[in-house]
Every structure is written in structure tokens, then in C-alpha cells.
Amino acid sequence: MHLAISMEEAVDMIPDGARVMLSGFMGVGTPDGLVRALAASGKKDLTVLVNDAARPHTGVGPLVTAGCVRKFIGSHIGVNPVVQEKMRSGELEVELVPQGTFVERIRAGGMGLGGILTPTGIGTLIAEGKDVIEIDGKQFLLEKPLRADFALIAARSCDYVGNLTYMLSATNFNPIMALSADVVIAEPEEIVPVGVIPPDAVKTPGILVDHVIKRTV
């Protein structure tokens, strides 16, 4: 059963120290309302799993800028000087993961797999401390699954049972992350009656969605 909750209720649900997945690519496809509300709430010590640090005021940026984040796991932090500064000062821990490995580890976490074998990272710093496994004469890195306590999903449309669609490049990590967290909260741009989204067009089945952010108008 899907419960429409307010932004405040969603924020209250997420404790200090929680592990939170956030979709988006340079802030596109990120649930901006949830990010802003969390940033304003003064949460502490969050671990965020998000592709990139975007900019100080886009994507996950506001959360980091507000000092809510203890650890960042993702692939790129190059255009967010606040993240660079907090990393240098030791306030923020950063774990860099190649983007293809990042999304595939999240997929593994949501699909019940014990990890993935990828050629990416072999012979680089990324391989340090990891098992290298040879399959048919080729070397692969064993990368373990990634999961989170919460996944915050930005959807285009959501129907009354929580079926979700996404739009163009705002799709990115959303359908994968919606599989890989204990609690999935969707922030859609619009709510539509059941039937408006044809079954073939559903990208995330509603059974995966625990909560939907309530419309305020």
C-alpha cells in the first residue's frame, strides 16, 4: 500500500547517520524537493550514494553545503568546489567508484546478486585490496553490491499505486536505485490516475515504491 506523505514526514523518517541513495546526473533526475528539505532539516552524518556531487546548489550539492553529509560514494566530484574543500579539510569522506561499476553494484544490491565481475579498474588504484578473478582467461575485478537505507527517487509521473515513469536523461539512476534500498520514497512531478500510465510504459513498478511525496496543490 502506498502512502502519500508530506515532505516533512519524509524528512522525519530519515535519521541522522542514514545511508541514502540519490538519483541524478549533474542534478538532472535528482529529487530536488527532498534534497532541499533534508538540507534545511540539519541532518547529520549522512552517507550519500549519488553519481556525482553536481554543483554546490544543484543535485546533492545543497546537502553537502549544509554540512549534512559525512561520506560521499560516487564517481565524480570535479565541479563542486565545496565538496573539494570539505574533502581536503577531512570533514567529508569521499569514496570514488567508476560510474559503470557504481550503477552495476547498486543493481547487484537490488537484484540479489553477491557482486559483479567487471574489467573496469583492473591495473588502476581502484583495484587495490580487491579480488581479481580470472574467467576464461580474462581478468575481472570483484565488486560488491551497494544498498542503502533509503532511495530518493525523482519521477516524471506516478499513479495511485506508485507506478513510476521517468523522462529522457532524467531517467539515469532512478530505476536502478528504486530496487536497492529498504525504503523507497518517490518525488514525482505529477500524480495521475491508474491507467494513465500504460503497463508497458511503467519503468518502476509501484510495488517497489514505499512512499510518494504528497502534492501540495
Partner 1 sequence: MKDLVVMDPKEIIARRVSLEIRPKTLVNLGIGIPTLVSDHLTENLGVFFQSENGVVGLGHRPAEGMTDRHLTDAGGTFTSAVPGASIIDSAFSFGLIRGGHLDLTVLGGLQVDAQGHLANWMIPGKFVPGMGGAMDLVTGAKKVIVAMLHSAGGVSKVVPECTLPVTSQRRVDLIVTELAVMAPLDDGLYLLETGPGVSVDEVVAATDADLIIKGDVPQMDLSRTA
Distances, alpha carbon 203 to alpha carbons 95, 142, 207, in Å: 29, 29, 12
Q: Does 96 bind partner 1 (CB under 8 A)?
A: yes
11, 170, 181, 212: which one binds partner 1 (CB under 8 A): 170
Q: Does 150 bind partner 1 (CB under 8 A)?
A: no
Q: Does 169 bind partner 1 (CB under 8 A)?
A: yes
Q: Does 173 bind partner 1 (CB under 8 A)?
A: yes
- The DSSP call for residue 28 is B
Q: Per DSSP, what are the bridge partners of residue 185?
A: 152, 211
Query: Please, which residues have CB within 8 angstroms of residue 146's CB and are 6 or more apart in sequence?
Result: 49, 73, 102, 105, 106, 108, 109, 180
Q: Is 197 helix (H, G, I), strand (E, B) or coil?
A: coil
8, 17, 119, 194: which one binds partner 1 (CB under 8 A): 119
The dihedral formed by the CA atoms of 160, 161, 165 and 166, expressed in degrees to the nearest 10? 80
How many residues make contact with partner 1 (CB under 8 A)?
46
3, 42, 91, 124: which one binds partner 1 (CB under 8 A): 124
Beta strands in 11-166 (DSSP E): 19-22, 46-49, 69-74, 93-96, 116-118, 132-135, 138-143, 148-159, 164-165
Q: Does 54 bind partner 1 (CB under 8 A)?
A: yes
Q: Does 4 bind partner 1 (CB under 8 A)?
A: no
Q: Does 118 bind partner 1 (CB under 8 A)?
A: yes
Q: Does 171 bind partner 1 (CB under 8 A)?
A: yes
125, 137, 199, 217: which one binds partner 1 (CB under 8 A): 125
Q: Does 78 bind partner 1 (CB under 8 A)?
A: yes
Q: Count CA within 13 A, CB hemisphere, residue 188.
A: 23
Q: Which is nearer to partner 1, 150 or 166 (CB)?
A: 166
Give CA–CA dist 203/197, Å, rounded: 10
Q: Which among 49, 39, 43, 37 is positioned nearest to 15, based on CA atoms?
A: 43
25, 50, 152, 164: which one binds partner 1 (CB under 8 A): 25
Q: Which is nearer to partner 1, 6 or 124 (CB)?
A: 124
Interacting residues toward partner 1 by CB under 8 A:
25-29, 51-52, 54, 74-79, 84, 87, 94, 96, 98-101, 103-104, 107, 118-126, 156, 167-176, 203
